[in-house]
Amino acid sequence: MAIAALLDQIGRRADAAAWATGLHPAQWSALRYFSRAGAEARTVAAFAAFVGASLGTSWQTVKALIGKGYVTSNKMPGRGKVLRIDLTQKGRQRIADDPLAEIGRAIAQLDPTLRITLIEAAEGVLRRLPARGVAAAAEEETVPGEAEAERPRPSIHPVPLASDPTPTEAEDAGEAVIGFFPRGGRVSAPE
C-alpha cells in the first residue's frame, strides 16, 4: 500500500501542476495524447480508450479544448463522419509548457538502471489494472448522435514514439521520455 500511496502523491503533484496552468488534468492528458498520436489514432474514441474514460466524458474534454482554441476537429477522409483531432498552433505552444515535464526531469535525475526498473514496474502495474474504457473503444466516434456501420475496435499498447530521443539523448536534454500510444495508430510525429 505504501507504493500505491507514493504513486498517488506523484499523481496529485502532477494534477496540482496542471490546475495551476488553468487547464484540468484531463485536458492536459488530451493535449499530450493528440500532440503525439499518429493521424489515424487522433480520434476521441481512441483517446477515450487510451485514458480509460467514457466516450461522452472524452468528448466534453475535447470540446473544452476546442473552445479554448487548442485543438480542431475535422472529418477524416475515407472514414465517414469520424473526426480527427488536431492541435492548433496555440495548442502546440501550450504543450511546449507541459507541467508533466517537471516529473520527467526528476525521473531523468535517477540512476539509469533505476529508471529502467521504474519503467518496467509501472508498465507491469498498468498491465495488471482492470481495463477501463473498453466500451468507449468499441465505438468509433462520429459526429455526436450519428452512428457508423463499421466500428474498428482500437486496443491500447504502450510503445515509444519513433520521434522520441534515445535514452542518451534524453539524458543530455535533462528529460525522461516515456510515451504510451494506441496500437493501430501510426507511431510518428503529428502530421
75-87-27-151 Cα dihedral, nearest 10 degrees: 30
All structural domains of the chain with their residue ranges:
2-183
Q: What confidence tens digit (pLDDT) does each residue in 152-181 have?
A: 333 334 333 334 443 444 333 333 333 444
How confident is residue 130, by pLDDT bands cut at 50, 70 and 90? Answer: confident
pLDDT above 90 covers what percent of the chain? 51
Q: What angle do CA 43, 49, 55 make, to 5 degrees?
A: 70
Domain 2-183: which topology? Arc Repressor Mutant, subunit A (1.10.10)
pLDDT at 132: 61
